[in-house]
Structures are given as structure tokens and as C-alpha cells.
Amino acid sequence: MSYARLFDIIHTLSEERTVTAKTLAGRLEVSERTILRDVERLSEAGMPIYASRGRGGGISLLPGYVMDKAALSETDRQSILASLKALDTLQPNAGGDTMPKLAAMFGQLATDRANWIEVDFSSWAAPEGEQGLFEALREAVLEKKCAAFHYTNTQGRAGKRTVEPLKLGFRHRGWYLYAWCRTKKDFRFFKLTRIKKLRVTDEHFDRLAPARIFGDTDFGEADKFILLRLRIAPRMAFRVYDEFITYRREKDGYFTCEVSCPETEWLQGYISSFGADCEVLAPESVRAAFVRELQATLSLYKGKKSK
């Protein structure tokens, strides 16, 4: 079901009053059967729309019905326009001329004030194939279609999953799919970079997504959260300001930083990215594991001469 198409039907009927299913199907490039299903959905949703047979018949709105833009506050109208513009960055032109129609209905002032934000996901979408993955999952969420894929969890175990996709979310530099996993019979987060061989099926589901999916500690599949404390050198101040919310600058110029993060495979790589400018203060288990990793790395170079 395309929400842009449903809006196009309502907008057309508000302008022309009565239009045949064949005409609407031709304009929107779908079958007449799809148009009739859309009319049924709109009617079930409370829209005063009906279809009549015979000469002069067609699809119409009840006489006297006016699309009342006053039913939405100015803030509501701005939010709708801004949201549609943000979604357009993920799939440009997917809504056709929906935005201009809404702008005409809501007024130019609302359109201008919707320009307060711009979102660019091009850096995320740059790797080959990832944009297609994102768009396929986006459609699965919106159309409530089940999906199947191969997934590798944080312990490196790979397996097949069948899920009911509920939401896409972004947290800590990564995109995640929140879904009901039929394989595990529980709600799960799936990192998009670990999803392979995605297939969106024709099977629909009815489960609703929760209003909020990211908790303070229960995030990720089998991810354990820890409070990481680091001592970072002054020359890395720019990274402290960019990457940490909780930090304290000591008298010697060094920073003591704290962050709650998942204890996953990225952690040692992240700490290593600071080189000799970062020391793990706590927890002791992470400090000890990092020391072992450094010793293993050093052993690769002992007694070896560069070629």
C-alpha cells in the first residue's frame, strides 16, 4: 500500500469530485483493482468516499466534503512537511509530486518553515549494495512484510533468520533493524552491516512497533553494556569534544572520559584508534583484554625484520 498514492486519490477527488477507476488507474500507473482496494481502505479509515456504477458513475467524495487544512495546527503541518522532506533524502522522488500538493494545501509559509532541517545519508549509502538493503527493509517495515536473511551476531555465529520488521533505527554510528525474530521467538536488534542475502517475502504480519525501541542498557542482540572510563591525551581534545558527553579535564591537561557502550567486537578497535594517546582505566576486564591484545600484536613483530 502506497500512502502517497492514497493521498493522490483524495487530492484528485477533492479537485474533480468524480473520477472513474480507469482514469485513476491510468494516472497512478496501477490496476483498476488496486484503485478499488485503495478506495475500500480509505472508506474503512473513515474517509467519505464511495464508488457508483453506471453512466456518469465513478469514484467520488460525499457532496459538501472539503479537505480541511485547519484541522491540523501550523506545527502539525510543518512537522508533516519536514518529515516528508527527510524521508525524501532516503528515497528521492519516491512520493512523486506529493510535496508540491501538500505545500499548495498548507500554504507557502509552511513550506518555507519546513526548511529548518536537512538530512544527508549519502555517506552511509555510499558502500555498494547498502542503499538497496536499506530501501528494501524500509518498504518491508512500511508494507508490513516478513523478511528472511543470513545474520552474523556479536559472537560471530551465523545463521538464517525470519523476522517481522518493525522499525529502522540509528544509534552510535550504525543502522539497526528492530524486528520480531520468528527464529528466536523474541524481539531483536539486527545491525544492517551484518545482514546478508536479504529477501522480502509476500507474507504480511499485523504486529505493531513500539513507540520507543532504544533503551538505556538493553540494546543489541546479546550485547553487554559497560561503563568505559578512559584517560585521553590533550592532543586528542578534538575527539573528546566530538565523541564524549561525560568528561573531565585534569590539571595535567589530560581528559578522563566516561561512556556507556556495548562490549562488542568494535571496542578494542575503537580504543586502538587513539594509539598511545589513550589508556583504559576501567573496567579492569577491558583493560586486561586490551593488554593481551597488545601483547599478541607485539609478538607478531618480535624477531622479524621488515622487508
Structural domains present in the chain: 3-61 (1.10.10.10), 73-116 (no CATH), 136-204 (2.30.30), 225-301 (3.30.70)
CB 134 within 8 A of CB 90: yes
pLDDT band at residue 88 under the 50/70/90 scheme: low
Q: Which of 98, 181, 94 is nearest to 138 (CA)?
A: 94
CA distance 120 to 50: 41
Can you give the pLDDT at residue 213? 82
CA distance between the termini of the chain = 62
pLDDT band at residue 109 under the 50/70/90 scheme: very low
Strands 246-249 and 174-181: unpaired
CA atoms within 13 A on the CB side of 73: 3
CA distance 281 to 268: 14
Mean pLDDT estimate for the chain: 78
Say yes or no to pLDDT of 199 above 90.
yes
| Percent of the chain residues past pLDDT 90, beyond the cut | 30
pLDDT band at residue 8 under the 50/70/90 scheme: confident
Burial zone of 285 (CB within 10 Å; 0-12 exposed, 13-18 middle, 19+ buried): exposed
Say yes or no to pLDDT of 258 above 70.
yes
Can you give the pLDDT at residue 107? 54
Find the angle CA(34)-CA(39)-CA(43) to the nearest 5 degrees: 150
Q: Bridge partners of 158?
A: 152
Q: Bridge partners of 6?
A: none
Say yes or no to pLDDT of 272 above 80.
yes
Average pLDDT over residues 174-202: 90
Can you give the pLDDT at residue 126? 45
Alpha-carbon torsion, ordered 158, 164, 169, 172, to 10 deg: -20
Burial zone of 75 (CB within 10 Å; 0-12 exposed, 13-18 middle, 19+ buried): exposed
Say yes or no to pLDDT of 250 above 90.
yes
Say yes or no to pLDDT of 165 above 90.
yes
Range list of β-strands (E), the chain:
18-19, 49-52, 58-61, 145-152, 158-171, 174-181, 186-191, 195-204, 225-232, 246-249, 255-262, 278-282
Can you give the pLDDT at residue 178? 92
pLDDT band at residue 30 under the 50/70/90 scheme: confident
pLDDT band at residue 104 under the 50/70/90 scheme: low
Can you give the pLDDT at residue 222? 44
Please state the length of the chain.
307
Average pLDDT over residues 133-146: 89
Listed range (41-45, 53-57, 113-117) with the worst mean pLDDT: 113-117
Say yes or no to pLDDT of 18 above 50.
yes
Say yes or no to pLDDT of 292 above 50.
yes
Q: Exposure pattern of 122-137 as b/e (b: 16+ CB <10 Å)?
A: eebbeeeeebebbebb
Average pLDDT over residues 258-267: 80
Say yes or no to pLDDT of 123 above 60.
no
Higher pLDDT, 289 or 9: 289
Positive or negative torsion for Cα 234, 236, 241, 244: negative
The pTM for the full model equals 0.47
Burial zone of 20 (CB within 10 Å; 0-12 exposed, 13-18 middle, 19+ buried): middle
pLDDT band at residue 22 under the 50/70/90 scheme: confident
Average pLDDT over residues 182-206: 92
Can you give the pLDDT at residue 53? 75
Say yes or no to pLDDT of 38 above 50.
yes
Average pLDDT over residues 41-57: 75
pLDDT band at residue 41 under the 50/70/90 scheme: confident
Can you give the pLDDT at residue 183? 92
CA distances from 155 to 44, 149, 265, 296 (A): 47, 18, 8, 20
